Amino acid sequence: MDYDDLLQRGLSKIPEKAFKSSKYETPQTESNVIGSKTLIYNFKDVAGKLNRDPNHLLKFIVRELATSGTLEDSRASLQGKFSKEVLDELVVRYIKSYVLCNSCNKPDTKLVREDRLTFIACEVCGAKNPAKTLL
């Protein structure tokens, strides 16, 4: 085989997502403070856009805010008063920790659990990096 054949064969193995450049937009929360609770109305939509389980995202937010929360239908209810800016910043921190690939910085990843460890597996470059465990 000559170089061109090997190059074409190698390029054919790379997923098409690697060649596409799309502007990734961070999903914004739609929240409201009612009494001593904060409701996030589009919580499942935010988790869906991140391609993550809503329970995992809720666990992260509850832990970071040191409060309690529940998932009700498509919304989340948090004990305490939290502004939209605080919630949006937590979503950004979640994306940096559990969504973006450490190697290629693309959001096309999924969480994979092997034994007791959780990995962030990238669907674009194939990298597999350990993720912090949420207890």
Q: Domain map of the chain by residue range? A: 25-99, 102-135
* pLDDT of residue 90 exceeding 80: yes
Closest CA to 134 of 73, 69, 56: 56
CA gap 121, 112 in Å, rounded: 7
pLDDT category, 22, cuts 50, 70, 90?
A: low
Q: Say what percent of the chain tops pLDDT 90.
A: 55
**pLDDT, average across residues 94-113:** 89
Q: Is the pLDDT of residue 23 over 90?
A: no
Report the chain's terminal Cα–Cα distance, integer Å. Answer: 52
Mean pLDDT computed over 4-17: 80
Q: Which of 56, 64, 68 is nearest to 86 (CA)?
A: 64
- Rounded Cα distance between 27 and 20, Å, is 20
Query: Can you tell me which residue has the tokens 């990843």?
Result: 109
**Which architecture does CATH list for 25-99?**
2-Layer Sandwich (3.30)
What pLDDT is stored for residue 42 in this prediction?
94
pLDDT by residue (tens digit) across 107-133?
889 999 888 888 999 888 888 999 888
Cα separation, 91 vs 85, in Å, equals 10
Output the CA torsion sign for 98, 102, 103, 104: positive
Pairing of strands 75-79, 109-114: unpaired
DSSP helix/strand/coil, 9:
helix
Dump pLDDT digits (tens) for 51-64. 899 999 999 999 99
| Inter-axis angle of helices 54-65 and 84-98, nearest 10 | 120
- Stretch 102-108: mean pLDDT: 86
Mean pLDDT score of the chain, rounded to an integer?
88
Which of the given ranges, 22-31, 85-94, 102-111, has the highest pLDDT on average?
85-94
